[in-house]
Amino acid sequence: MRRARVELSGWGRTAPSVGTLVDVAPGELRDGSVKVDDLIRGGDGDDGRGAIARGRGRAYGDPAQNGGGAVVRLGPGAIVLDDARGTVTVGAGVSLDELLRHLVPRGWFVPVTPGTRFVTVGGCIASDIHGKNHHVDGSFGAHVDALTMLLADGTLVSITPESDAELWWATLGGMGLTGLIVDATVRLIPIETSRCMVDTERVPNLDSLIQRMETGDEHYRYSVAWIDLVARGAALGRSVLTRGDHATLDDLADISRGAEGDPLAFAPGTLADVPPGVPNVLNRLAVRAFNEVWYRKAPAQHRSVESITGFFHPLDMVGSWNRLYGRAGFLQYQFVVPFEATDTLREIVDRVASSGHASFLAVLKRFGPESGGMLSFPTPGWTLTLDLPAGASGLDRLIADLDRLVLGVGGRHYLAKDATATPDVIRAGYPRLDEWRAVRRRVDPDHRWASDQARRLDLL
């Protein structure tokens, strides 16, 4: 175990705080050489501030920081693949990047991946993340069979949905506040190749996008639309819809280029790194120009073979891209509204487009059924994600307007992205919050797990 006092913020680089970063190996927890008290007492003897787990720091706001307290980073654990059952038991500190490098050449894929590989398995569970396949496969939590957790009372327990249903459903999406996830057993997707067959279409406006997604998504495992949130008028909500599936060997045989070499090859790299100290280059002019080019260059309709990185994690090709927003940082606003609330969705797109706040590409996606996690974000409906530079004046008013619109139709906000919500906004979006709190009172009566976000949103 190693300790260091450091300033931490989320991926958006806003609202930092200083806490004690505690690096611990999973083995130290298993053999008892590091106890829960050692983790929680990380804060230089300052008791009462608790501890929270941190993976790769990809949550945008403050859920993985803990001012004055301990922030626990679990070292990478083992990756144990069970080929016969199609499951992997993996340390919570292992990233999807590391996991995919192990799994893909062996013909397996993670059941759900977000837009970046640089998240840990523990983070995927604590945020009950979703990916482009939510409308078919649900969230990450729906594919987890068992968890090992370190609880506030110091016990190391293995749980399944059957052994402790309450704790299970409070932990999926529970933002690490029910205990430290140490490892997980996850069901995998078999793949024949490391490529994807992707259909790309350019869609002139939001109405036609909604209509195409409503009717066509069911034919694809993966579906997502990138929306230009700067375009207005007749082009409001113009977008590029990309939908696809894992390519089979037969698919690749039809296309000579894709069939060369090992069909399961997977060695993603980084094209460039953004150095520190870059000013905000994503201003309105730059974003408008980028979105224009990006929309024009997209094919009207096109089928292509793409790599896993190109299809799932395009931004991973640019290291530290969050620095492009300069010192003030940025925030990512993500919400879901019910399917029938398309008028509200349109109004929100219109508000953002006419607000003058430059949003780099936004992402629209249809969610399938809920996973059952008490604080899990995905619920059937439309989810829209947009990036906003945090330094812009008037941003607070735009967000307050959007919050009202989202809550007005029974929507909610994603805790892994949240950096601006209030306790009232979260309470309104998560009707099972009190049920979750009751479980927390049972497993952590002394509030030993805590984060800046938990305090800010009054979750505990």
C-alpha distances in Å from residue 284, one per residue of 314, 316, 388, 433: 22, 23, 10, 38
Binding of residue 342 to other proteins (CB under 8 A): no
**Among residues 18 and 317, whose Cβ is nearest to other proteins?**
18
C-alpha distances in Å from residue 270, one per residue of 263, 267, 309: 21, 10, 10
- What amino acid occupies position 144? V
Give min distance, CB of 7 to other proteins, in A. Answer: 6
Binding of residue 390 to other proteins (CB under 8 A): yes
Stretch that binds other proteins, among 89-97, 171-179, 393-401, 428-436 (CB under 8 A): 393-401
**Among residues 49 and 135, whose Cβ is nearest to other proteins?**
49
Binding of residue 420 to other proteins (CB under 8 A): yes
Binding of residue 391 to other proteins (CB under 8 A): yes
Which residues share a beta bridge with 159? 147
Contact 330, 386 (CB under 8 A): no
**Binder among 18, 157, 317, 409 for other proteins (CB under 8 A):** 18
Residue 404 is inside which H or E element, if any?
Answer: helix 395-408
Stretch that binds other proteins, among 203-211, 232-240, 315-323, 387-395 (CB under 8 A): 387-395
For residues 84 and 404, give the distance between their C-alpha atoms in angstroms, rounded to a whole number.
49
**Binder among 15, 34, 209, 324 for other proteins (CB under 8 A):** 15
239 phi/psi in degrees, rounded to 5:
-155, 170
**Binder among 49, 135, 195, 365 for other proteins (CB under 8 A):** 49
Sheet holding 70-74, edge to edge: 2-8, 17-24, 70-74, 51-53
Stretch that binds other proteins, among 8-16, 113-121, 295-303, 342-350 (CB under 8 A): 8-16
Which residues share a beta bridge with 91? 183
Specify the DSSP class assigned to residue 61: S
Contact 105, 192 (CB under 8 A): no
Q: Count the neighbouring beta carbons within 10 Å of the beta carbon of residue 188.
A: 21
**Binder among 265, 267, 315, 400 for other proteins (CB under 8 A):** 400
Specify the DSSP class assigned to residue 235: G
For residues 154 and 165, give the distance between their C-alpha atoms in angstroms, rounded to a whole number.
20
Give min distance, CB of 448 to other proteins, in A. Answer: 17
Sign (positive or negative) of CA dihedral 296, 299, 301, 306: negative
Q: Count the neighbouring beta carbons within 10 Å of the beta carbon of residue 256.
A: 8
**Among residues 20 and 185, whose Cβ is nearest to other proteins?**
20
**Binder among 38, 62, 137, 444 for other proteins (CB under 8 A):** 62
Stretch that binds other proteins, among 5-13, 222-230, 292-300, 307-315 (CB under 8 A): 5-13
**Among residues 91 and 389, whose Cβ is nearest to other proteins?**
389
Give min distance, CB of 415 to other proteins, in A. Answer: 13
**Binder among 396, 408, 431, 438 for other proteins (CB under 8 A):** 396
Stretch that binds other proteins, among 51-59, 65-73, 88-96, 213-221 (CB under 8 A): 65-73
For residues 386 and 419, give the distance between their C-alpha atoms in angstroms, rounded to a whole number.
13
Binding of residue 7 to other proteins (CB under 8 A): yes
**Binder among 1, 16, 166, 290 for other proteins (CB under 8 A):** 16
- Of 438, 442, 443, 252, whose CA–CA distance to 459 is shortest? 438
- Of 160, 143, 155, whose CA–CA distance to 179 is shortest? 155
Structure tokens at 195: 């490529």
**Binder among 134, 313, 365, 456 for other proteins (CB under 8 A):** 456
Give min distance, CB of 229 to other proteins, in A. Answer: 19
Pairing of strands 362-367, 222-227: antiparallel
DSSP letters, 107-134, are TEE-S---S-S-SBHHHHHHTT---TTH
**Among residues 205 and 322, whose Cβ is nearest to other proteins?**
322
Binding of residue 89 to other proteins (CB under 8 A): no
**Among residues 5 and 441, whose Cβ is nearest to other proteins?**
5
Binding of residue 17 to other proteins (CB under 8 A): yes
Binding of residue 42 to other proteins (CB under 8 A): no
**Binder among 209, 395, 405, 415 for other proteins (CB under 8 A):** 395
Binding of residue 67 to other proteins (CB under 8 A): yes
Considering only residues 194 to 233 of the shown chain, the ones binding other proteins according to CB under 8 A are: none
- Of 165, 112, 171, 114, whose CA–CA distance to 138 is shortest? 112
For residues 194 and 108, give the distance between their C-alpha atoms in angstroms, rounded to a whole number.
9
**Binder among 424, 431, 438, 446 for other proteins (CB under 8 A):** 424
Pairing of strands 330-337, 272-273: unpaired
Give min distance, CB of 27 to other proteins, in A. Answer: 29
Task: Provide the binding-site residues for other proteins, judged by CB under 8 A.
Answer: 5, 7, 12, 14-19, 46, 49, 61-62, 66-69, 329, 331, 390-391, 395-396, 399-400, 403, 419-424, 452-453, 455-456
